[in-house]
Amino acid sequence: MQITQIRNATLLVDYAGKTLLVDPLLAERGAYPGFAGTANSHLANPLVDLPMPLAALFDVDAVLVTHLHLDHWDETARRTLPRALPVFAQNEADAQSIRADGFTDVRPLAAHGDTGMIDRALDSMARVFGTRRAQLERMLVGTWTHDWQRDPFSRGAYSYAGVGGVDAHKELAKPLQSTLFFAGEATNGEQTGTVAGAIVSGRRAAAEVRRRIKP
């Protein structure tokens, strides 16, 4: 697998011979006003230029839209991406909005349910580790999923530090009994609430696992 960060949450993911465009923010630099209520609300978005021609981002196998915020699915993406590209959305409500822009192959991931997610995860792990799925199924003790979009407390929101919680990310990142390791943007104190923070935290957790396996 190869992950290329384009800017903000926009990624290119190359895996198993396929290329996935994630959360396309495709407008020219400075096309949108800054986000109100943030530390850099005076800065226009996107903050940087695209590192490649716009057309180069059209040569993908599918698009993944995690949600419909402007910085994850902007007007330029809605207007310029090829309408026949498969687009994966988190739920049917988002899928309907994307279809309204003229996209003809929109697939809501939530429609597959927990069983479908686990099924795809096992297929993915079998490819990553080069083993048979049946072997993974024999080793599997149990599964658990959580729908953050439906969670009544988070409602799909990003994490943020409350009053007195400036060091909370350090506690969230602590492994349990050197056995269970944690990653996610909430465990990164410098880039909380961002894809970049999630990626950095994943690398940190992976390094912790490696040190545990090979001290």
> Which CATH number characterizes residue 170's domain?
1.10.10
| Same-domain pairing of 171 and 106 | no
| Same-domain pairing of 101 and 28 | yes
Q: Which domain holds residue 186?
A: 160-215
| Same-domain pairing of 74 and 167 | no
How confident is the model at residue 121, as a pLDDT?
Answer: 86
Q: Which of 70, 94, 111 is the last residue of a domain?
A: 111
Flag whether 142 is in a domain. no
Whether the model clears a pTM of 0.75, i.e. scores above it, the answer is: no
> Which CATH number characterizes residue 11's domain?
3.60.15.10
How confident is the model at residue 215, as a pLDDT?
Answer: 64
Instruction: Supply φ then ψ for residue 166, to 5 degrees.
Output: -60, -30
Number of domains in the chain: 2
Q: Which of 111, 142, 170 is the last residue of a domain?
A: 111
| Same-domain pairing of 8 and 106 | yes
| Same-domain pairing of 12 and 75 | yes
Flag whether 144 is in a domain. no
Flag whether 121 is in a domain. no
Nearest to 159 by CA among 176, 143, 172: 172
**pLDDT tens digits, one per residue of 156-184:** 777 877 888 888 999 999 999 989 999 99
Signed CA dihedral, 117, 118, 119, 121: sign only: positive
Flag whether 193 is in a domain. yes
| Same-domain pairing of 107 and 7 | yes
Flag whether 86 is in a domain. yes
| Same-domain pairing of 10 and 106 | yes
Q: Strand 10-15 vs strand 2-7: parallel, antiparallel, or unpaired?
A: antiparallel
Q: What is the DSSP string of 92-147?
A: HHHHHHHHHTT-S-EEEGGGGHHHHHHHHHHHHHHHHHT--HHHHHHH--------
Flag whether 196 is in a domain. yes
| Same-domain pairing of 8 and 104 | yes
Alpha-carbon distance of 215 to 213, in angstroms, equals 6
| Same-domain pairing of 11 and 106 | yes
| Same-domain pairing of 82 and 174 | no
Flag whether 130 is in a domain. no
Question: Residues of the chain whose pLDDT is less than 50?
Answer: none
Q: Which of 111, 126, 143 is the last residue of a domain?
A: 111
| Same-domain pairing of 83 and 170 | no
Flag whether 107 is in a domain. yes
Assigned token pair, 103: 């996209």
| Same-domain pairing of 96 and 179 | no
